[in-house]
Amino acid sequence: MRRPALDATFAVGYLAVALALFLARANPASAYESSVYAGTPTVVWLGFAFGLAIAVGTALTCRGRDQALSIGLGGLVVTSIVSLPIIRNYRFSGMGDAMTHLGWTRDLVDGELAPHELFYPAVHSFGGVFHFLGGVPVERALLFTMVVLFVPFLIFVPLVVRNISGNALAVGLAAIVSWMVLPINNIATHMGIHTNSNALFLVPVVIFAFVAYLRRRATVERLPLGISPFSLLVYLTGFALLLVHPQQMVNVVILFGAIGVVQFLAQYRLEDHPILEHPTTYVQTVVLGTIFTVWAATNDRFRSAVVGLVEGLLAEDIGAAAEVDEREASLTEIGGSLGELFVTMFVDAAVIAVVVGLFILVTWLGWTTMSREAASFVTYFGLALVPLTVLFALYFVGTPTMAFRQVGFIFVLVTILAGLALAHLFGGLARYLTVPGANTIASLTLGVLLVLGLMTLFISPVMYDPGQHVTNEKMSGYQSTLHHGVEDQPITALGYDPFRYDHAINGLEGEESLTGGTAASGEVDHEAFEDGNYSGAYFDMDYYLVVTAYDVNREIDVYQELYYSEAGLAGVERDPAADKVISNGEVDVYAVRADD
């Protein structure tokens, strides 16, 4: 494509994304949205799709400055999608761990808590800084933090591949795969205020520093104690990752340790290989491992997590297998299936993983044309997947949530290797077809996978779970209940324990809150509730029942009355023992009296 036409194409692509952002901002969410995808105007998605189509095509065909512009365009689209909760003026997003992180951040802002008292204080500290500097609410500051921590993933994945191979096609393909955001699985890793997931997006930064340490020689004098600048960069980025979430630091230590083992064995088995010329990773592994040990050993949360893992390994009917059986039974009752859900959530990741797995195999067999230097990094990362997968298996048996967090880290490595793997796949295809023909097939195939990846970036009803949009009315309803309700009267909800809202509103350090012991909280007994026994639905006690638009959408529209029915919800209105004390259009709160 000629220069004027190419420049015009980029200009139109960036303009389309800019207009899409303007329209998204002009159409804020006015009520609870069960899906950010459905709630965002169609024309916004058309603008994003147009920009992404240009980015995919040009990332494969352009080189140099033009490829950088295409990668920037694709990254802008994906970052815009990640930023939709901010752009469309969500009060907050996330009803689980995100609420607790909001509470900790509120404690930091109010001076109730110091950053060093948290096991992983980075996200909360960033939120506090953005709150004070930007003059925005803490909720919005945290959403902004989520976006800021996400962007390095899009930047450093292609940079790592460029540093490993220098192949422009591999760089473009790595960028496209990064836009799929494969580390997010919406089982244990989420696009939101979730520190473990946020840490995943910083892992490529650490890997970039590590690759630079192995491949580049410092042009400045070594620092004191013989430390090279690149080695220091590994320590600094590793420590930053530790402050965001220590679990991903553990995985980095395992990665470096596995590479150190490869280097050690290479010294005895190989006579002439690039691995022998790389500086060893022994010191980096020991230093980062020591930093983690010192940081974690004195922390109660870390000790509790280890104890929970050991108990899970020893217990019966605990682990992912039992949880999968339970989920499959529930899906079947509402007309879904585990297979359908897997295809919806993981088909893009599965395809990329198969391609990467085959690529690692053919590289080890010597059937690729890549340089020995680049192949050594495939060996490093490929063999490192073995201990990382073993740890996944232990988590899978002991604590399923940790297992799928481990999958998130594994797919960071898979994303990096995918750039190299796909470059060889489509490069080989070009020898049988033409280069334009191979690029066309690559664009169409990756375009489909990209759509599948982005449509599961946020939780939505397509995954049999409504979005976790928190509205002003919802926060207001819970705040009024917590602050003005009868002291010691439990606060209950449908299908989950509402204690997270206490965290978000009052923080975790305050005395006058549920966590301070002034009142209990929990889920009502759905069987008693459905039988119309509202008075006895919570341990035969007087209690507050909070019913939100989210609850109604989840139980009626998504779960199709699996646990709570429309008739059961309507019955509360007519029951003489239930008095509606709050109603703001999004939240209804009932004061329910127990049987005398």
What DSSP string runs through 350-407?
A: HHHHHHHHHHHHHHHTT-S-S-HHHHHHHHHHHHHHHHHHHHHHHHHHH-HHHHHHHH
DSSP secondary structure letters along 72-113: HHHHHHHHHHHTHHHHTT-SEE-SSHHHHHHHHHHHHHHTSS
Residue 433 identity (one-letter amino acid)? L
In which element (H, E) is residue 344 found? helix 338-364
**Lookup: tokens for 253:** 């230590």
Query: How much is the average pLDDT of 325-345?
Result: 74
Give the pLDDT confidence of 476-530 residue by residue, as tens digits: 999 999 888 888 899 999 988 889 999 999 988 765 445 444 467 889 999 999 9
- C-alpha 108/C-alpha 138 separation (Å) is 10
Specify burial of residue 461 (Cβ count, 10 A radius: 0-12, 13-18, 19+): middle
Local structure of 493: helix, strand or coil: strand
- C-alpha 108/C-alpha 112 separation (Å) is 6
Average pLDDT of every residue of the chain: 90
Diameter of the chain by CA atoms? Answer: 86
Query: How much is the average pLDDT of 557-565?
Result: 91
Give the pLDDT confidence of 85-140 residue by residue, as tens digits: 999 999 999 988 999 999 999 999 999 999 988 889 999 999 999 999 999 999 99
Query: How much is the average pLDDT of 175-192?
Result: 96
Query: How much is the average pLDDT of 319-335?
Result: 62
- C-alpha 128/C-alpha 135 separation (Å) is 10
pLDDT band of residue 297 (cuts 50, 70, 90) is confident
DSSP state of 331: H
**Selection from 550, 465, 520, 458 nearest residue 190 by Cα:** 458
- C-alpha 48/C-alpha 68 separation (Å) is 18
- C-alpha 435/C-alpha 426 separation (Å) is 9
**Selection from 493, 547, 556 nearest residue 520 by Cα:** 493
Q: Cα–chain-centroid distance for residue 224?
A: 38
Give the pLDDT confidence of 13-67 residue by residue, as tens digits: 999 999 999 999 999 999 999 999 999 999 999 999 999 999 999 999 999 999 9
Local structure of 457: helix, strand or coil: coil
Give the pLDDT confidence of 199-242 residue by residue, as tens digits: 999 999 999 999 999 987 655 555 565 577 888 899 999 999 99
Residue 224: its pLDDT value, please? Answer: 61
Please say whether the beta carbons of 454 and 81 come within 8 A: yes
Residue 517: its pLDDT value, please? Answer: 40
- C-alpha 55/C-alpha 67 separation (Å) is 9
Residue 596: its pLDDT value, please? Answer: 63
- C-alpha 324/C-alpha 338 separation (Å) is 9
Residue 480 identity (one-letter amino acid)? S
The lowest-confidence range among 153-157, 242-246, 286-290, 325-329 is 325-329
**Selection from 350, 208, 355 nearest residue 363 by Cα:** 355
**Lookup: tokens for 193:** 């205020």
Residue 515: its pLDDT value, please? Answer: 45
Region label for 181, one of left (φ > 0), alpha (ψ between -120 and 50) or beta (otherwise): left
In which element (H, E) is residue 547 found? strand 543-548
Residue 336: its pLDDT value, please? Answer: 72
- C-alpha 584/C-alpha 201 separation (Å) is 38
Please give the C-alpha separations between residue 144 and each of 128, 147, 404, in angstroms, as whole numbers.
11, 5, 25
Please give the C-alpha separations between residue 298 and each of 243, 253, 286, in angstroms, as whole numbers.
15, 19, 19
**Selection from 347, 333, 401 nearest residue 186 by Cα:** 401
Q: Is the pLDDT of residue 182 over 80?
A: yes
- C-alpha 77/C-alpha 83 separation (Å) is 10
Please say whether the beta carbons of 562 and 495 come within 8 A: no
- C-alpha 306/C-alpha 347 separation (Å) is 32
Query: How much is the average pLDDT of 416-421?
Result: 97
pLDDT band of residue 328 (cuts 50, 70, 90) is low
**Selection from 96, 101, 192, 85 nearest residue 138 by Cα:** 101
Q: Is the pLDDT of residue 313 over 60?
A: no
The neighbouring-strand residues paired with 523 are 493
The neighbouring-strand residues paired with 507 are none
Query: How much is the average pLDDT of 359-368?
Result: 93
Please say whether the beta carbons of 569 and 552 come within 8 A: yes
Q: Is the pLDDT of residue 263 over 90?
A: yes
Residue 102 identity (one-letter amino acid)? L
In which element (H, E) is residue 530 found? helix 526-530
Local structure of 588: helix, strand or coil: strand
383-387: Cβ within 8 A, 24+ apart: 383/258, 383/259, 383/261, 383/262, 384/254, 384/255, 384/258, 384/259, 384/413, 385/410, 385/413, 386/258, 387/254, 387/257, 387/258
Please say whether the beta carbons of 43 and 23 come within 8 A: yes
- C-alpha 213/C-alpha 432 separation (Å) is 38
DSSP state of 486: P
The rounded percent of the chain whose pLDDT value lies above 70 is 91
**Lookup: tokens for 558:** 């998504």
**Selection from 15, 6, 33 nearest residue 553 by Cα:** 33
Residue 401: its pLDDT value, please? Answer: 80
Residue 338: its pLDDT value, please? Answer: 78
